[in-house]
């Protein structure tokens, strides 16, 4: 009988020890830290688009970024203001109904305010946002068609309102002040366009769609005209390549957007990919596509892509 109660006692002790241990582990987990996981996005296809968000990082609420102007009280923006008047840029942002809240809204609250004029292009019209309805379908294969229709819309309604016409995606960030600095040296009456120049497939190269590109007024006129006279084809599923081919056909020059030290200013990926040495593997398609030899990242960045 004594041994049985002894066994009982032992089991009891074991139980309490295990209970104590489990409880302390649980509490330490509950009160402890949580790790941060970063999604690693590398695009295996140069003409791929950023896959649609699963909505996890969806930021709620309306924003008012105009408050920014009161922050820098000692800032002198005379030169920037001067350029704003001299180099007029119309920005049009490629978006869609499912991305208005997730992405386009943030573009609208931030950098788009620095454009002389901004338009949001979607397959459907939305009077509240507002977006221009291009009357197309959504999807990757519709991109070129949307681009053509968007440029056409801009040409028909806003040709005289700007000197330069920029296309950007809703996951791109543009530093307009730096873009104006680049474009101030060129004449918008000349047929030229700028972006991140890629070398394959097109003799003079073509501009990466992801990094955004900007057309001079003359280039826009010729582009729109090219479809009326059938010089360029309407159908293609690769927007940037098709546009680049068309530009070559209509004699619009592919410009050099690098800064004074030869560094690129348009970037097809997020800053981390470009800033951290070795982030993009040597075998990645990107290194073979760049028209110019690589130098380190520019001080005067214009564009960044695939931002959350």
Partner 1 sequence: MLSESSSFLKGVMLGSIFCALITMLGHVRIGHGNRMHHHEHHHLQAPNKEDILKISEDERMELSKSFRVYCIILVKPKDVSLWAAVKETWTKHCDKAEFFSSENVKVFESINMETSDMWLMMRKAYKYAFDKHSDQYNWFFLARPTTFAIVENLKYFLLKKDPSQPFYLGHTIKSGDLEYVSVEGGIVLSIESMKRLNSLLNIPEKCPEQGGMIWKISEDKQLAVCLKYAGVFAENAEDADGKDVFNTKSVGLFIKEAMTNHPNQVVEGCCSDMAVTFNGLTPNQMHVMMYGVYRLRAFGHLFNDALIFLPPNGSDND
In whole angstroms, what is the distance from residue 280 CA to residue 302 CA?
Answer: 20
Q: Is 78 in the site for partner 1 (CB under 8 A)?
A: yes
Residue 171's closest CA among 104, 120, 122?
104
CB-nearer residue toward partner 1: 200 or 294: 294
Cis before residue 130, ω within 30 degrees of 0? yes
Q: Does residue 130 sit in helix, strand or coil? A: coil
Least distance from partner 1 to the Cβ atom of residue 67, Å: 4
Rule CB under 8 A: choose which of 41, 48, 59, 295 binds partner 1: 59
Minimum CB distance to partner 1 smaller for 55 or for 156 = 55
Structure tokens at 55: 């909505």
Residue 268 half-sphere exposure toward CB, CA atoms < 13 A = 24
Does residue 235 interact with partner 1 by CB under 8 A? no
Are the CB atoms for 232 and 226 separated by under 8 Å?
yes
Task: Report the alpha-carbon angle 231-239-151, nearest 5.
Answer: 65
Chain center to CA of 132: 19
176 or 243: CB nearest partner 1: 176
Instruction: At 215, give phi and psi (nearest 5°).
Output: -105, 145
Q: State the DSSP code for 50.
A: P
Contacting residue, 12, 161, 187, 201, with partner 1 by CB under 8 A: 12
Partners of 118 in beta bridges: 91
Q: Which of 52, 81, 187, 225 binds partner 1 (CB under 8 A)?
A: 81
Q: Which position among 6, 17, 200, 251 is part of the footprint of partner 1 (CB under 8 A)?
A: 17
Number of residues that bind partner 1 (CB under 8 A): 60
Q: Which is nearer to partner 1, 82 or 233 (CB)?
A: 82
Report if residue 22 touches partner 1, rule: CB under 8 A: yes
Site membership for partner 1, residue 2 (CB under 8 A):
no
295 binds partner 1 (CB under 8 A): no
User: Where is 243: in which H helix or E strand?
Assistant: helix 239-249
Please say whether the beta carbons of 292 and 197 come within 8 A: yes
Residue 128 interacts with partner 1 (CB under 8 A)? Answer: no
Closest approach, Cβ 226 to partner 1, in A, equals 33
Q: What letter does residue 276 receive in the DSSP assignment? A: S
Does 72 bind partner 1 (CB under 8 A)? Our answer is yes
Instruction: Using the structure block, give the residue that is written with the tokens 């102007």.
Output: 69
Contact status: 287 vs partner 1 (CB under 8 A): no
Answer for which of 141, 187, 256, 272 binds partner 1 (CB under 8 A) is: 272
Using rule CB under 8 A, residue 80 touches partner 1: yes
Q: Which residue has the tokens 């295990």?
A: 18
Q: Is 71 in the site for partner 1 (CB under 8 A)?
A: yes
Residues forming contacts to partner 1 in the complex (CB under 8 A) are: 4, 7-9, 11-24, 27, 31, 36, 38, 59-65, 67-68, 70-72, 74-83, 109, 175, 177-178, 180-181, 271-272, 275-276, 279, 296-297, 299-301
């Amino acid at each position: 009988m004594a041994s049985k109660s002894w066994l009982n006692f032992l089991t009891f002790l074991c139980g309490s020890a295990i209970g104590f241990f489990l409880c302390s582990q649980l509490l330490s987990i509950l009160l402890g830290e949580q790790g941060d996981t970063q999604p690693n996005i590398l695009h295996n296809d140069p003409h791929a688009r950023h896959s649609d968000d699963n909505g996890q990082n969806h930021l709620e609420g309306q924003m008012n970024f105009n408050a920014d102007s009161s922050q820098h009280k000692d800032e002198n923006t005379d030169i920037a203001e001067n350029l704003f008047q001299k180099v007029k840029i119309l920005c049009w942002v490629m978006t869609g109904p499912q991305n208005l809240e997730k992405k386009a809204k943030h573009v609208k609250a931030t950098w788009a305010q620095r454009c002389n004029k901004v338009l949001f292009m979607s397959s459907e019209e939305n009077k509240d946002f507002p977006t221009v309805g291009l009357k197309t379908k959504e999807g990757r294969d519709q991109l070129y068609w949307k681009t053509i229709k968007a440029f056409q819309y801009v040409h028909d309604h806003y040709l005289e309102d700007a000197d330069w016409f920029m296309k950007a995606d809703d996951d791109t960030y543009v530093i307009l002040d730096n873009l104006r600095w680049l474009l101030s040296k060129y004449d918008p009456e000349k047929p030229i366009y700028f972006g991140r120049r890629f070398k394959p497939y097109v003799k003079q190269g073509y501009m990466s769609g992801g990094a955004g590109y900007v057309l001079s007024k003359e280039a826009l006129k010729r582009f729109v005209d090219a479809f009326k006279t059938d010089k360029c084809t309407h159908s293609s599923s690769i927007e940037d390549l098709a546009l680049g081919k068309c530009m070559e056909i209509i004699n619009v020059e592919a410009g050099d957007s690098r800064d004074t030290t030869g560094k690129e200013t348009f970037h097809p990926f997020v800053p981390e990919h470009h800033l951290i040495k070795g982030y993009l593997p040597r075998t990645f398609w990107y290194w073979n596509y760049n028209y110019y030899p690589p130098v380190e990242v520019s001080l005067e960045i214009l564009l960044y892509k695939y931002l959350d």
